[in-house]
Amino acid sequence: MANVTVADSIPQRRILTVEPSSLLIGLLFIVVAFLVLTPLLLLLVGSFQLARPGEAPVYGLAGWKRAFSDPSILEALWNTVSLAVVRQAIALVIGVILAWLIARTDLPWRKGLEFMFWISFFLPSLPVALGWILLLDGKFGLLNQWLQALPFVSGPIFNVYSYWGIVWIHMTTSLGVKVLLLAPAFRNLDASLEESARSCGATPAMTLIRIVVPLMMPAILVSTVLGLIRSMEAFEIELLVGVPIGLFVYSTKIRDLVAYEPPDYASATALGSIFLLLLLVMVALQRNYLGQRHYRTVTGRGFSTNPTSLGRWRWPIFAMVALTAFSVTVVPVAVLLMGTFMRAFGYFNIANPWTMENWQRVLADPSLIRSLWNTIFVGLGTAVTGAIFYSLIAYVVVRRHFKGKAALDFISWLPWAVPGILMGLALLWTVFETRILLFLYGSVYLLIIALFIKSMPFGVQISKSVLVQLGAELEEAARISGGSWLQTYGRVVVPLLTPTLIVVGLLGFMSAARDISTVVLLGSSQSRTMALLALDYAFGGQFERGSVVAFMTSMVVIVAALISHFVGRKVGIGER
């Protein structure tokens, strides 16, 4: 009889082991998905919730019915779409021409002009709006007063409190977005086809329309979609300039529905859900359009980047571009600075209009000190957490191989398709509906979470662009030496990415300092930032104090932008 051991009688079982790296990647995926998707899903669910937060849930379609039947909501929807399409159409035409002139021609001082448009992209909207109010107000606008001094002018020429006044103010940031996105793409385009067109007798304008623009359609389409999203999340300008004349857009309408008693959360979330679905469809169509098309520049020559000569029009065109750049950067900020010293905001013709009292009162106001510390705390919190997590997400997407890689990449990009007011509303509803998160309501920590989510696409994409350029040899050597992927990331990748992490952190800090639409529904008197304080002053009619705080906010943002530009150029980010 054969000997049978106890061990032999037990069937062999495969032990399922999970590597720590897989667990960490899975945890990262869950965290990112929870932060981005949960608020958006709860926003959609909340649109059917009729009861107020804290009450027993009652579901129905009343919110959607009001959203589609209330004339004021329908008008706000139309105003939103109309303003977004009009200003993007204007900005697209002008932006393409400006980007082409800066990147593809022999325009003088091209880098300096591009830098000015780059600065305009980061300028907060509220200070810009206050500056243009001082210039273009129908009653006391400085430019109107100058023009009315002419013998053939009677009455004000411009009125900033109008539909076209809103469009004009938005041109400051809209042109900056177009130049920022399109100039690098124009710069990387092979010039051989342009040279062939010129050799056949085509003018520079004809070459731009028939050769360059078709080749640039992917970049133009991306900039258009992102510009529309940015236009739809506009809030401060519409609040200051549109609300006084009864012109509401969906962002200001959502604020009214939530802020005033009794709050109508059902209609607000339904209105937000409509725009969320609309934007997601628009983004899906854009990605599908680009995914089905392949763009190649086929030539029989080497890569060429010879600039197009502007000939005798070189200096006149330079004067027009410089005037445009000067108007969207220096003019509104300089006029705003002048407004901070005015005894009565906008009244230039009174006796002794200048004073230092506005600065003295604001600097002695405890609310300014509190908002300053809130801005620093929220900015540093967003910068530090963003620099760590964005680079980690980028590293996992670029260097690791797992089934959910494409999904993680898409989820980290998704906040770019969600306007700030929607993200704020979604987080507000998430806090109300999740009891364990109620302690976050009105705190600076909720502001950090909101701005962390909103800045995620920019931070991840910048980190990805740098990681793609880094060779993997040092990481492979670290793994051969026994290091895990997390140790490799911490000891090898992070030191190489340090300049990039500084840039990402500075961008996060700027977002925290300038952003209003994302946090306007989330802040309280104890957690409001300087941008929110300036909005409260301005919307409350205290333009003198509001201009001081708005100017200080602009200086904080500009200094951070200059530092990030300097560091970014050191690591080559500014050239991408």
Predicted local distance difference test score (pLDDT) of residue 518: 87
Q: What's this model's pTM, rounded to 2 decimal places?
A: 0.81
- Report the CATH architecture of 361-576: Orthogonal Bundle (1.10)
Q: Which of 217, 231, 298 is CA-nearest to residue 80?
A: 231
The C-alpha atoms of residue 176 and residue 116 are separated, in whole angstroms, by 8
Predicted local distance difference test score (pLDDT) of residue 475: 64
For 157, list phi and psi in degrees, rounded to 5: -85, -40
Predicted local distance difference test score (pLDDT) of residue 10: 47
The C-alpha atoms of residue 93 and residue 313 are separated, in whole angstroms, by 20
| CB-CB neighbours of 219 under 10 Å | 20
Q: Which of 227, 197, 228, 229 is CA-nearest to residue 211?
A: 197
CATH class of 70-291+314-339: mainly alpha
CA 501 from centre of chain: 18
The C-alpha atoms of residue 361 and residue 437 are separated, in whole angstroms, by 37
Q: Are 76 and 248 in contact (CB under 8 A)?
A: yes
Q: Long-range contacts made by residues 54-58, C-beta under 8 angstroms, separation at least 24? A: 54/432
The C-alpha atoms of residue 236 and residue 368 are separated, in whole angstroms, by 19
Q: What is the mean pLDDT of each run of 10 residues along the chain (576 residues)?
A: 48 51 80 88 82 74 83 88 90 89 87 87 88 87 84 82 91 83 77 67 70 74 77 84 89 83 79 77 65 49 61 89 91 90 82 87 88 92 90 83 81 82 84 82 90 88 78 67 68 75 84 86 87 89 89 88 75 53
Nearest-5° angle of CA 518, CA 245, CA 77? 50
The C-alpha atoms of residue 101 and residue 263 are separated, in whole angstroms, by 50
In DSSP terms, 105 is beta-bridged to: 308
For 541, list phi and psi in degrees, rounded to 5: 90, 0
* Side chain identity at residue 529, one-letter code: T
Q: Which of 384, 390, 423, 414 is CA-nearest to residue 509?
A: 384
Q: What is the dihedral of CA 130, 135, 140, 146, to 10 degrees?
A: 170
- Same topology, domains 70-291+314-339 and 361-576? Answer is yes
The full set of domain ranges for the chain reads 70-291+314-339, 361-576
385 in helix, strand or coil?
A: helix
Q: Per residue in 23-81, pLDDT tens?
A: 777 888 888 889 888 888 888 887 888 777 666 777 888 888 887 888 888 898 899 88
For 410, list phi and psi in degrees, rounded to 5: -70, -40
Tokens of 163: 């539909």
Burial of 508 (0-12, 13-18, 19+ CB in 10 A): buried
Q: Which of 347, 334, 354 is CA-nearest to residue 137?
A: 347
Predicted local distance difference test score (pLDDT) of residue 6: 46
Burial of 159 (0-12, 13-18, 19+ CB in 10 A): middle
Ranges of H-type helices in 233-313: 236-237, 250-259, 265-291
Tokens of 119: 């600065």
Q: Which of 88, 31, 41 is CA-nearest to residue 434?
A: 41
Q: Per residue in 462-473, pLDDT tens?
A: 888 777 777 666
Reduced 3-state DSSP string for 467-478: HHHCCCHHHHHH
Q: Which of 501, 467, 468 is CA-nearest to residue 389?
A: 501
Predicted local distance difference test score (pLDDT) of residue 569: 67
